Amino acid sequence: MKFKYILDYNKLVGTATKEQCRTCNTNTLCLNEVCFRCYQEQESLKKCPEEFRDLYTIARPEEIRKQLKDIHPDWSDHKIDEIARIRDNEIEHGTPVINGYQNFQWPCIDGDYVEFIAYGCKPFYNTLSKNGKEAFEKSIHDEMKDDLYDEYWEERVPDEIINSVGETNYATLFFVFKSLHSDKIVTYMDSM
């Protein structure tokens, strides 16, 4: 199962299990009790009952449009809207929610949503730079830069490598996302 904005669903979010789909009631392979077809089929999703909407991720329609406008000042509003709408739709109706403590709007970089690539931990940031702490701090999403303090890295970022969702037993999780269009990364912090 491949999602555009999640590098490795089985490893990072969870494995598919055979059960009854909460949307179409078919007994088949499901993620979070929703079958692959319902995740991917536009028509089914339109019929998706309101109470299951929390299974889908939240877009950032205004930020996507602003970034696209900054990158392509020559594009018409119509063209920007057209492209942004496809991307918003892929996030809201084609990307399952990732397992965290809080719901959050999926980050975007370079006029597109970013791909969830890893759980942040010291070994991960140390592969990005000789100064892993600096790489971590630089990657923190603008919305949470104020939450950082000097000892944050030492106290909160896990020492061990986190290979998969099964190893995420921490009070604070660090979701690492990468741009689909450049090497830029962003970390979103999620606390209990």
Binding positions for Zn ion, rule: CB under 5 A: 21, 23-24, 35, 38
Minimum gap (Å) between residue 16 Cβ and Zn ion: 12
Q: Which is nearer to Zn ion, 46 or 130 (CB)?
A: 46
Query: What's the closest the beta carbon of residue 20 comes to Zn ion, in angstroms?
Result: 9
Q: How far is the CB of 28 from Zn ion (least distance, A)?
A: 7
The crossing angle, in degrees rounded to 10, of helices 61-71 and 77-94 is: 140
Nearer to Zn ion, 17 or 102 (CB): 17
Task: Provide the minimum distance between the beta carbon of 34 and Zn ion in the complex, in angstroms, as a whole number.
Answer: 6
Amino acid occupying residue 73: P
**Which is nearer to Zn ion, 49 or 73 (by Cβ)?**
49
Torsion over CA of 81, 87, 93 and 95, rounded to 10 degrees? Answer: -160
In Å, what is the CA distance from 191 to each residue of 52, 142, 168, 180? 23, 16, 12, 26
Tell me whether residue 24 or residue 29 sits nearer to Zn ion (CB atom). Answer: 24
- Write down the least CB distance from residue 86 to Zn ion, Å: 23
C-alpha triplet 122, 123, 125: angle, nearest 5°: 65
Comparison of 16 and 117: residue with beta carbon closer to Zn ion: 16
Which of 147, 136, 146, 131 lies closest to 175 in space, CA to CA? 136
* Range 69-89 burial, b when 16+ CB lie within 10 A, else e: eeeeeeeeeeebbebbeebbe
Q: Is 42:93 a contact under the CB 8 Å cutoff?
A: yes
